[in-house]
Amino acid sequence: MTATAPAESEGVIKVQGQNTTAPPSSPVSTATTAITTTIRLDIYSDTVCPWCYITKKRLEKAMRIFQKEYSTTSLDSESNRAVYFDIHWHPFQLDPQASAVPFLRSKLLARKFASDQAIFVKDRITTAGRVEGIQIRYSEHHLYCNSMESHRLIWYARRRMLRTMRSINSNDKDVQQEDQGEYEEEVDEFGNRMEDAMAEELFKSHFERGECGDIQTLKECARRVLRQEFLSSSRTETMAPPTSSTSSSAIGLGITALHLDKDEIEDEVAKIERFLESDEGLDAIKEEIRVAKQELQLQGVPAIVVQNTYLLSGGQDPATFVEVFKRVV
């Protein structure tokens, strides 16, 4: 993928060519009474980047705004329109040389900025976070470490988490051939949901609780996500509206309706611990980072590719995202 001339908005670049990790998507269904369109979002971020967390909230706000606008019934047509977002998280490391052994985050700021500048940076970040409903905290006791293991956990969340546990509700052999396509869509939606939930929890862990990505912390983050998503007592009656095109088809095959008890959750946490103690996924993460830096030529994050067409870099506001969404539908 190569960049061409900047679009109208600062930090928005139109891109050409096909991203090897982000194939373009197309409308998933068209009918006389309903037109459903999918917008693919490829998010490049680092779990220790505060602007990535802030931009995630801004992007979610933009998606809600655009879904509401786009889904209204057209005045000159009987068709209803709906748009969903197919979100894929990709790793990036702002500080790849950081120690894997936790150290105080205050030492990192002192190393990067002069004292008065560090205060300004922290104030700017906390203020921007507060606007988006995030309580970013800076304390002398908060920790920092290399983010590689946290990226591996996000990788695991999409590709591994609970896939084998589908047998709790039904056996994969029971999936008939005619249901296979629907099942594969549901699996992808499930991975989408798990990946996004894990990214959210890792941001909260680092910026709101002052933790860093050591294995014990990552295990607790995974446990929190599993309990929030699958423990019956933790679920709410009103579920959030879907953000992916496949949500409407993710019914009846047993994954998205999965409920787990505490023992089943602990079994999954044990699997995650074994994964984190291995090097599975490490080469895949390193390759994605290489693609981001060398092929996309990213020098920092956040960076979001919309429908494989526009690259938005930096802390964009919701209005900019909405404007770009309008260009790709």
Question: pLDDT of 155-194, one tens digit each?
Answer: 999 998 876 545 444 455 555 555 666 767 777 888 899 9
Domain total of the chain: 1
Q: Which of 20-29, 87-96, 204-213, 315-324 has the lowest mean pLDDT?
A: 20-29
Confidence of residue 310 (pLDDT cuts 50, 70, 90): very high
Tally of CB atoms within 10 A around 54: 22
Residue with tokens 């249901």: 179
Distance CA 329, CA 326 (A): 6
Asked whether residue 42 carries a pLDDT value surpassing 90, the answer given is yes
Asked whether residue 287 carries a pLDDT value surpassing 90, the answer given is yes
Cα torsion angle, 126, 129, 135, 140, sign:
negative
3-state secondary structure at position 207: helix
216: Cβ contacts below 8 Å, ≥ 6 apart: none
- Out of 60-74, 170-184, 203-217, the most confident range is 203-217
- Across 142-254, where does the E strand assignment appear? 143-144
Pairing between β-strand 103-104 and β-strand 310-313 as defined by DSSP bridges: unpaired
140 within 8 A of 104, measured Cβ to Cβ: yes
pLDDT attached to residue 23:
44
3-state secondary structure at position 137: coil
Domain of 67 in residue numbering reads as 2-328
Burial class (CB in 10 A: 0-12, 13-18, 19+), 277: exposed
Angle ∠(267,91,117) on CA atoms, nearest 5? 115
13 within 8 A of 309, measured Cβ to Cβ: no
Confidence of residue 33 (pLDDT cuts 50, 70, 90): low
Asked whether residue 150 carries a pLDDT value surpassing 90, the answer given is yes
Distance CA 223, CA 221 (A): 5
3-state secondary structure at position 166: helix
Q: What is the reported pTM?
A: 0.82
Q: Stretch 251-280: mean pLDDT, rounded?
A: 83
**C-alpha 271: how far from chain center:** 22
- The structure tokens listed for 283 are 């080469």
pLDDT attached to residue 237:
36
Asked whether residue 73 carries a pLDDT value surpassing 90, the answer given is no
Distance CA 54, CA 239 (A): 23
pLDDT attached to residue 158:
93
What are the pLDDT digits (tens) for 97-148? 999 988 888 777 766 767 778 788 889 999 999 999 999 998 888 989 999 9
Q: Which of 186-190, 307-311, 313-317 has the lowest mean pLDDT?
A: 186-190
Half-sphere exposure of 229 (CA within 13 A, CB side): 25
Domain of residue 16, CATH code: 3.40.30.10
pLDDT attached to residue 36:
85
156 within 8 A of 281, measured Cβ to Cβ: yes
What are the pLDDT digits (tens) for 220-242? 999 999 999 888 655 543 333 44
Tally of CB atoms within 10 A around 127: 10
